Structure formats: structure tokens, C-alpha cells
Structure 1
Amino acid sequence: MPVPNNPVLAALLERINEDDEIYALWVAANVTAVERLGMTDHGPVHVKIVMNIACKLLRLLLDTGVAPAVTTTYGFGRTEAEVVVALAALFHDVGMAIHRREHETYSLFVAQEHLRRLLLAHYDPATATVLRSEILHAIIAHRAGGKPLTLEAGIVRVADALDMAKGRSRIPFASGSASIHSISAAAIDAVRIEPGQGKPVRVRIEMTNSAGVFQLDQLLREKLMGSGLEPYVEVEAEIRGETEKRLLTAFRL
């Protein structure tokens, strides 16, 4: 992920990419999700996609004057907002290495020591503690029924749901496992995030099959509602192609 004008985040990502223990946690999380439960990808590819989506959402919002919580509450800048969002995205599913149920809670204590070590390499103890708390809040708030209390947490919650394109179903299909999660993900051809017209962010979703509506109605809607991002994000979706009978031509949240 490009990290222009943020040397702290660039250095953190370099350290994470070189950390075999963190990578092993991502792999173990994917074993739980894909091999044991037949779900879609929850491993290293997923978390890096979520990080990229989250940082893109954050930058679009910052560019239109929306202030993150680390700024309004603590006076930190754009650098720290990006650090919170990026690290929360990378660690949000590590609890899946233990179990799917309550994995968001498990992610907190699995991520805790890694975050402490990473942040202390760049910040004084007090600042590192505050940032770690913000990251852990964003992690726990991505669970079903979670209530994000910060812009950053809402961004991570929505970004998690936006990793819905067909590539996410590749592993289950390759292993012969098909579920509503993998089938609906396979129906999503592309997710495009761009500046909006009525709102700062527009999410455009292109589907090739109406099965993709499950991703929008059951997953994205649940993550967007209550995220705090509702005033800032508009979602549009359309079904393209003529290979199936169209049950609907468009869907809007």
C-alpha cells in the first residue's frame, strides 16, 4: 500500500511484513475460516485488502474535512489516524486463529502485545498506549452489533464488509466448498471506492449475478448501519451482463 507522507506507517508496515509470528497468525486464522468452517478468506490477503480499503476511505474523508477521533480528542494528526486504521485492519481477525465465535474478543488479547511492541518503536509510552487503545476499539467494534465510537473504528468496520469481490471466494471454491458466503462473493465483480457527489465517498459495486445481493443486504448493510459513516458514504450497485435472468437491475442502500 502506498504511504505517501507517512514515514511512521511505512516503517510499521515494513516491520509487520518481516514478522513471521504475525504472518503465522494470519495463516492460522485462515485455517479456521476456510479449512474448518468453509468460509471465505480471512487470512493475509483479506486483511491487507481491508487495510487498503480502510486507508482509502479515511483519506477521502480527511480530504473533505471530516476529522478523525484521534484529532478531535487527542490532537493527533493524519499520521496517527492512518496508523490506527491500518493496524486495526491488519489485526482485526487474528482472533480467528483461536475460534470463529467471539473472534473479535480474542483478537484483542492476541494483538495487544504485538501492538505494544510496534508502537513503542515510534512513540513515547503514553502516546503508544492511547493509539493502542484506539486500535483495539476499532478491532472490537467490527463485530456483529458492534458500536463504533470513533470515525476510525467505523471505517474499519465498513472496510471489512467491502472486501466482497469474487476473489474472496476463490479458496472455498477451489477446495470444493460452496456456501452463501462464497457464492455471493463470487457474484461481486468489482468494488470501486471513489469521491461521491452527494456525500464524500461513493462505493460502486458491480455484480454479475443477483446472488451478490446477499453481500449487500446481509453483510454491508449490517456493517454500515451504526458505523457512524452513514452521513459520509453512498452505496450503489448494479447487475451487469445477460447470462442470468435479472431478478433486479439495481440496488441502493
Structure 2
Amino acid sequence: METSSKATTRRFPDWETPSPKEAELNRALLERTSGKVHRLLQGLLVDREVNLYHSYANAVSVRRLGYNDHGPVHARITTYNALKLLRLLRESGIRPSLEEEEVGTYEDAQVAVALGCFLHDLGMGVTRENHEWHSIVLADGIITRYLTMLYGETDPMRVVVRAMAHEVIVGHMGHSRIHSVEAGVVLVADGTDMARGRSRIPQIIDRGPVVGDIHRYSASAISRVDLSPGDAKPVRITISMENKTGLFQVEEILMGKVKASPIMPYLEICALVADEPPRFYLR
């Protein structure tokens, strides 16, 4: 059997140049953080290995499976929203579990949330089914590397934050029961990334209709998601949409995650549909 003497040329996608949206989110994350979580994000946001995992996970999610974005932009939006939720809760007197239980500080909780949230979807590059568990396998070496950088080799908080980051990742789908405020914040934050930008790429791919298209078309109806202090609860999540198609995202995706989250009692959920009166799912 003859073999070609010519070397095989391997085409590697341009996954290492950040998009304008990624660059915008990088600035927002760095401008609004300080201390250990700022140092963590300074590394994660430009980490080549992490970016390659994110980008390949997105290729599998969008091109192979026809799902919404699960890549670099999604990681940044959810991390930004998770840290904001954590802050809004604490400003209302709801402290993260590490702080409330006197195991760690608010900063330790921020690190666990940012680290776990940023890496929560790496496993989409393996399979959609149980991808949270694959994420832990792929992410654990990265988690350990960054915690060693932040805490050193001997600080026991390195073990605590590693375990919390694992709970954050395992819990983000709502399939495994979680108990901490930190993991609950990430579970909800994952559901808040539902605006039309997340479904833009899957919609422009030329292919026929398939089961699951409602996820993409409902997301395209949503114009924005806002996190703010609530009237009666610590946090209000307001979802603005152009038509009622977007209610699918609220009712089937976000509310499913909210109901599985330990932070549900502290949330107001409000949907704004064009000129209709506000629809409250929680208040």
C-alpha cells in the first residue's frame, strides 16, 4: 500500500483572536473586580488553553448540535452576571455560604464563583449529555493551577475554593442538587444569558428545521436581560422581549434553573413583552 509523501495540512480555526464582544466583556469584568478575583480574571481571560476549550466546545455546540452559544462569550456573560448576583445579594444582607458559615471570606466566594462559572461549559466539547461532569474533568487542572497562583501551596483555602468551584460546575444544569449560595448564583446566571446574541450564529447556519429550534427562535425575541435590586426581594431579573416567543426562554429555561437554586427566595422575575403589562413569575 502506497502512502503519500506529502505532509497532511491541518487547518486550525482562528480561535485565539478575541471577538469585539469578548474584548468588551473582558474590559467590563476587569473594571468591576479587584483583589484575588481580578488577578484570576486577568489570567483566565487570556488563557490560551481555556480559550481553546471554550472555542471547541462552541464548535460542537453550535455547528455539530445546533445549540446556542456555549463558548467564550457565554462564559464571560455568565461570569459577569454571577458576580453581580453575588454582590446584589450581599448588599441586601444575603452572604455567600463560605462567608456565612465562617469558612472563608466574600473574596474567596467570588473566586469560587468566577472560577467555576468561567469553566462550567468546557465539557460541551465532549458531549451535551452530562457535560457538567466532563467539564470538571477538563477544568480541574486549570482550577488547581489558578488556586495555587492565588493562594500558594499551603493555604487550606485552596482546597475549600476548589471544592466550591466543583459544586458550581456540577450544579449549573440543575440536575444535581446544590446547597450553597455560590452554586445557586451560577445556576441562575447561566439561565440569564438568553438574549438574541446567543442564538445569532445558530440561526444563520444554513440547515433545515430540527427538534429544539424553539430554543433559538425564542432567544432571538429577547432584547435584553437586566439584573437590579428588587422592590420586595434582593434581586430583580427583568427580561425584555419583542414578542411572546421569548416567554419560552423564561418559563422553560430560566425558571427551571431558578426553581432548582438555593437563591430562589431572594429573586423577583419579571418579563416585559412589548407594550403589555409586566408579567411577574416571582415577586
Pairing 1:209–2:243 present: yes
TM-score by structure 1 length?
A: 0.93
Identify unmatched segments of 5+ residues in structure 2.
1-28
CA displacement, residues 2-42 of structure 1 (integer Å, 9 cap, x when unaligned): 45563211111111123211100000110111000101000
How far the C-alpha of 1:145 sits from its partner, in A, is 2.7
Query: What amino acid is aligned across from residue 148 of structure 1 in structure 2?
Result: I
Identify unmatched segments of 5+ residues in structure 1.
242-247
How far the C-alpha of 1:251 sits from its partner, in A, is 2.9
Identify which of 200, 220, 232 aligns with 2:254: 220
**Residue aligned with 2:226, SS:** strand
Identify which of 143, 146, 149 aligns with 2:173: 143
Query: What amino acid is aligned across from residue 218 of structure 1 in structure 2?
Result: E
Counterpart CA distance in 2 for 1:180 and 1:149 is 31
How far the C-alpha of 1:249 sits from its partner, in A, is 5.3
Query: What amino acid is aligned across from residue 38 of structure 1 in structure 2?
Result: G
Matches within 5 A, 1:105-124: 105-124=133-152
How far the C-alpha of 1:74 sits from its partner, in A, is 4.2
Identify which of 91, 94, 104 aligns with 1:63: 91
Identify which of 159, 165, 175 aligns with 2:195: 165
Structure 1 pair 5/47, CA: closer, same or farther in 2 (3 Å)? Answer: closer
Q: Is the 8 A contact 2:57 2:124 kept in 1?
A: yes
Query: What amino acid is aligned across from residue 253 of structure 2 in structure 1?
Result: L
Query: What amino acid is aligned across from residue 187 of structure 2 in structure 1?
Result: R
Residue 244 of structure 1 corresponds to none
Counterpart CA distance in 2 for 1:123 and 1:155 is 23
Residue 10 of structure 2 corresponds to none
Counterpart CA distance in 2 for 1:107 and 1:239 is 35
Matches within 5 A, 1:19-168: 19-124=47-152, 125=154, 126-168=156-198
Query: What amino acid is aligned across from residue 13 of structure 1 in structure 2?
Result: L
**Residue aligned with 2:86, SS:** helix
- Aligned sequence identity (%): 36
Counterpart CA distance in 1 for 2:145 and 2:173 is 25
Counterpart CA distance in 2 for 1:233 and 1:54 is 13
Q: Is the 8 A contact 2:184 2:262 kept in 1?
A: yes
Q: Is the 8 A contact 1:3 1:9 kept in 2?
A: no
Query: What amino acid is aligned across from residue 109 of structure 2 in structure 1?
Result: A
Counterpart CA distance in 1 for 2:129 and 2:135 is 11
Q: Is the 8 A contact 1:6 1:79 kept in 2?
A: no
Query: What amino acid is aligned across from residue 195 of structure 1 in structure 2?
Result: P
| Greater relative CO (CA pairs within 8 A, separation 6+) | 1
Count matched residues: 247
CA displacement, residues 47-79 of structure 1 (integer Å, 9 cap, x when unaligned): 100001101100000111111111123432221
Counterpart CA distance in 1 for 2:51 and 2:267 is 32
Counterpart CA distance in 2 for 1:197 and 1:19 is 40
In our comparison, the structure showing a higher alpha carbon Rg is 2
CA RMSD of aligned residues (A): 1.6
TM-score by structure 2 length?
A: 0.83
How far the C-alpha of 1:46 sits from its partner, in A, is 0.4
Counterpart CA distance in 1 for 2:143 and 2:280 is 38
Identify which of 246, 252, 267 aligns with 1:233: 267
Query: What amino acid is aligned across from residue 217 of structure 2 in structure 1?
Result: I
